[in-house]
Structure 1
Amino acid sequence: MLYIRYESATPNEGGRHAGIFGLANGLARSGALSPTDWAWWRESNDWLTAAYIDPGTVDPSIFDRGVHPHISCWFKESATHLLDRIPGYLAILDRHGVAWAERRSLDPGTILYEDADQVVVAPHAVVPEGER
């Protein structure tokens, strides 16, 4: 199975790569979106909320950084009905100069949560170059 993630091109101050939904939500909260972009963002967020499960409602600890400090969410390649919305988010980020990256992996990490459309994973430990 191929997994797909869209995230910030560079890590934040905590060393994490924010997902594109978090990046777009930050733009919306800051008032940076045009009325047209805000309306699209609001409708798309509402549609996505209705279209797939929020892992945090299944396992309230899944997004607790004290429990799982380095998790990330990945779509399954089969979730095309959800992936079809991604270009709109990427276009908003592009218009605001927010750099993003697409990652694809057959093994993004240890799966902590899984449903028909997505996985939440703890990434595999990275071995520093000098310790290999």
Structure 2
Amino acid sequence: MSAHTLRDEGDLTPDEHLELHEALSWFNEQLFVPKVLEQSEHRCAISWFKPAAEEAIRRMWHLKQLLDRHGHHVEVLRTLEPGSVVYEDDWQLIAKPRKGQRF
């Protein structure tokens, strides 16, 4: 993940380092990582935020800005067809792209 690379190898100011640490900590504390992702058949699955995840989305935009400032491009994708859903909760869904589907 680019955020971990930036954390470990990036040229961050002390304030940016704290900002990144706080962002990663928040996501680690707030977002559940389902066991389904440990299964090899789901290794290509993509996590998507639902519109109801307003706080997570706001924080992700902030993290994107920090990464962009340091040359780590983050592309924002939106879709109504995420693929075959393998997990879903209030904030996120995880789906495997269907055959031939590209993001």
Q: TM-score, normalised by structure 1?
A: 0.68
Partner of 2:80: 106
- Aligned partners of 1:63, 1:33: CA distance in 2, in Å? 32
Structure with greater helix share of residues: 2
Matched, 1:70 2:12: no
CA shift, 1:81, in A, is 1.4
How far apart, in 1, do the equivalents of 2:85 and 2:43 lie? 14
- Map residues 87-106 of structure 1 onto 2, 5 A cutoff: 87-106=61-80
The percentage of aligned residue pairs carrying the same residue is 28
Matched, 1:53 2:1: no
Asked whether the 8 Å contact 1:111–1:121 carries over to 2, the reply is yes
Greater strand fraction, Structure 1 or Structure 2: 1
For structure 1, the residue ranges without an aligned partner over 5 or more in a row are 1-21, 128-132
- Helix, strand or coil: the match of 2:11? coil
Q: Which amino acid aligns with 1:76?
A: K
| 1:124 maps to 2:103 | no
Larger RCO, structures 1/2 (Cα 8 Å, 6+ apart)? 1
Question: What RMSD over aligned residues (CA atoms) do the two structures have, in Å?
Answer: 1.8
1:9-20 matches, within 5 Å, as none
Is the counterpart of residue 40 in structure 1 residue 19 in structure 2?
Answer: yes
Moved runs in structure 1, 4+ residues, more than 3 A?
A: none
**What is the CA–CA distance in structure 2 between the aligned matches of 1:32 and 1:121, rounded to whole Å?**
34
Where 1:113 maps in the other structure, the secondary structure is strand
Are 1:83 and 2:18 an aligned pair?
no
TM-score by length of 2: 0.84
State the number of aligned residues: 101
Deviation at residue 63 of structure 1 after TM alignment: 4.0
Deviation, structure 1 residue 31: 4.1
Q: Which amino acid aligns with 1:62?
A: L
